[in-house]
A = this chain, B = another copy of it.
């Protein structure tokens, strides 16, 4: 045990903490939502976490088969797969956060594609045809799911146009045109739709967001919110099928995010406009073994404690590992973006989300937030918190989290721990020999090993104070809950004699 992390809980404390952990989650391209493994992973995610929105690429890609042409070249729209996907989301309690893109092959101006699955990333040959597609799609959705419902689905225009791979030549003016034409088309369907952009990735975001807002201001375009992405690793080193990036200091990233806030607020008309981080994760590649680790979970826990400061939402990229941007993975633990590995095995980061979601389940307020923990006091007199241990450059250290709950009486402390030895299927998979193809028994072992370690203890007033401590090992994420109340034994029952 190294450093001691002492948390003194005082009822009357108040801390600033906006918890939007469950607003939105990312997904690989929409066409994959037709698959069974995808749906099973998403079902698990919804059962244990329960997100409100889902956002991903590929709404208009060819595998969704929306845009078709007759023998005479006239457009005809096919919503068979769109309905199937949307039905499945709604069955799981999810609303889409619609990303309009990429370009149907037959409508595209060029032939540039991105990814293994070949999404066309060029502008439309005809903006009228694009507008028709957007309007027809939204009208269809309104018809099927109810207009009142569908206008509550946020709409984003395209993805990362500041990268030439995602938008030919990263042509800024062309994107602004696309945005202007698209927002107009969407509002034509229903003025209540909320539409945002420019969905840029980090790095050059300042330039783009500044220019985007100037364009909007100068052209009478009124975005309803601003979107950007947030990844926190450097360039990976590639070896074989995998890439190994370095994590950056979290503060660097938060500072970068804050500049976006400042740029927006520098425009009087846009001051306070919502920012939605429509993608975030540590690494931006779908084959970074880092994603499957406890280290990732601890780092993301820290992110979840802070991202609400400046942003209305932040959508982890992605919920699961059914994802084909770099092809089909060779093994279940291949460093995919997902919270869940193939075979429906939760990764450590899954629990970071579960734990932060629990902080919202009941009414309460935050009494403490620092770089290693968040603690809520609930109206029913209980406490809930999450602690994590991630420190770049201080590897090997452990913390001991001490709760001192002055003025509280007897209670039960529940902890759920994810660390190297608990809730860490990656290690078990490695120890099993890194099998590429799991047997049924191995899948069962991995699923069992992927659950946090649940522990309870009685916490009583000692010298007038209630208090407890528990370790938060390196890269651990620990959920804790203190429930007030003494033991009420049934007549004649003695736990001591039961276990003597």
Contacts and interface: CB of A to CB of B under 8 A. Distances in A.
B431 A492 contact: no
Contacts of A292: 498
Number of copies of chain A assembled together: 4
A110 interface: no
Of A65, A88, A140, A342, most B-chain CB atoms within 10 Å: A65
A342 B433 CA distance: 39
Contacts of A241: 490-493
B330 A80 contact: yes
A258 interface: no
Given A433-B485, A487-B430, A454 B448 contact: yes
A290 B494 CA distance: 10
A373 to B, nearest CB: 21
Interface stretch (A30-38, A131-139, A188-196): A30-38
A68 B485 CA distance: 26
Contact of A491 (B34, B70, B452, B457): B70
Interface string A25-58: 0000000001111010000000000000000000
A73 to B, nearest CB: 14
A452 B449 CA distance: 9
Of A35, A451, A497, most B-chain CB atoms within 10 Å: A35
Contacts of A328: 65, 78, 80-81
A445 interface: yes
Nearest to A79: B437
Contact of A437 (B76, B83, B342, B452): B83
A458 B434 CA distance: 11
Interface string A317-334: 000000000011111001
Interface string A118-162: 000000000000000000000010001000000000000000000
Contacts of A493: 240-242, 289, 331, 334, 434
A457 B431 contact: yes
Nearest to A421: B455
A427 interface: yes
A148 to B, nearest CB: 15
A489 B330 CA distance: 10
A335 interface: yes
B498 A335 contact: yes
Interface residues of A, number: 80
Nearest to A455: B421
Contacts of A449: 454-456
Given A84-B37, A498-B290, A456 B485 contact: no
A289 B239 CA distance: 53
Contacts of A456: 427-428, 431-432, 445, 449
A488 interface: yes
Nearest to A438: B83
Nearest to A422: B453
Of A34, A292, A490, most B-chain CB atoms within 10 Å: A490
A170 interface: no
Contacts of A491: 70, 76, 240-241, 330
A345 interface: no
Contacts of A472: none
Given A414-B445, A437-B79, A487-B433, A68 B239 contact: no
Contact of A498 (B70, B88, B293, B452): B293
For the complex of A and B, list the 4 residue pairs with the smallest distance between their C-beta atoms, beginning with the closest.
Answer: A240-B492, A289-B498, A431-B456, A240-B491
9 contacts: A34-B35, A35-B36, A76-B491, A80-B328, A293-B499, A412-B433, A436-B490, A445-B456, A449-B456
Given A431-B456, A431-B458, A432-B483, 6 more contacts: A36-B36, A78-B328, A293-B499, A414-B445, A428-B456, A435-B488
